[in-house]
Amino acid sequence: MTSVISSAVRTIRIGSRKSQLALVQTYWVQEQLQKSFPDISFEVHTMSTQGDKILDVALAKIGDKGLFTKELEVGMLNHEIDFAVHSLKDLPTNLPEGLALAAITERENPADALVVHEKHKDKQIDTLPAGAVIGTSSLRRLAQLRHQFPHFTFKDVRGNLNTRLAKLDAGEYDALILAAAGLERLGMSDRIHQVLSKEVSLHAVGQGALGIECRADDTELISILKAIEHTETRDRCLAERAFLRDLEGGCQVPIGVNTEINGDNLTLTGIVASVDGQKLVKDTVTGQANNAEALGTELANLLRQQGAQEILEEIFTEIQRGS
């Protein structure tokens, strides 16, 4: 598309978390925009978020909405930065007043991946021994895997990717479940032992895509950011985010999705599960891709009729109790 911008030279400040993965993602966005708009200066500014600072507590127990985004959003509203690059799965579905999701980039592999300790290199997830210690910080992964593999032992794991892998290699875990996209973006594809199928684990809403957030009234910047938007990824992710938003679940609630586009049709599958894996509801809807958000709402209503709301309310109560 052709973007119309003012003739005045503009410096645009990009906000990013300080983590290695966040910076890799942000520098990629900077590079793509610099190619499209060589006369504009794009500068990267880093910030630490609450999620980066608290590494010794399970994510579900310290809150989830805005855990990795709030400080960046404050920076935008205070005009310290112009836009922020997020892993879309970390971006809440309800944004602060004055901010907008301006663009969604082409998605990397959204699937979850199994990474194993060397001693299990001949195993797949369904052949790991009973009692194997599986590390994950995601309630979504935990609930789905407990449902299918109740004989495993699950243990929370925090820290950046290198820290998690070091703990695995030191023998604290038999395997980790991580996002394939993160490993691929950091050049660690060789650590992916098995990409988990959608039958084993539906991925997180927005996983594998980047969300570009900016001030809603900066129409010139929104025009610029649209240059790196990927239409198919946008439709898939808008459907997923509408599904999550309508169920009022944050990123640390056991809600998983899968989306596929075939021609003009979008198929959305969603799951809601209890943390112990005992209760699980799952369904699928198909419709026009250009009606993505309505499909997300339709699926949320279907799962609510099947008991999803009761499952989520139980989870919210458990989290509030600190259990």
In this structure, the number of other CB atoms found within 10 A of the CB of residue 193 comes to: 17
User: CB–CB of 144/256 below 8 Å?
Assistant: yes
Q: Are 89 and 22 in contact (CB under 8 A)?
A: no
| Length of the chain, in residues | 323
| CB-CB contact of 256 with 307 (8 Å) | no
Which tokens go with 187? 């050049």
For 59, residues 6+ apart whose C-beta sits below 8 A from its C-beta are 51, 67, 137, 138, 158, 252
Burial of 205 (0-12, 13-18, 19+ CB in 10 A): buried
99-104 and 210-215 beta bridge pairing:
antiparallel
The CA radius of gyration of the chain, in Å to the nearest whole number, is 20
How remote is the C-alpha of 197 from its chain's centroid? 17
> How many Å apart are CA 241 and CA 171, to the nearest integer?
37
List of E strands, 95-220? 99-104, 112-116, 133-135, 153-155, 175-179, 194-195, 210-215
For residue 267, list its beta bridge partners. Answer: 260, 286
Half-sphere exposure of 200 (CA within 13 A, CB side): 14
Q: Which amino acid is at 21?
A: L
Nearest to 111 by CA among 210, 259, 228: 259
Parallel, antiparallel, or unpaired for β 83-87 and 41-47?
Answer: unpaired
Active-site annotation, residues: 90
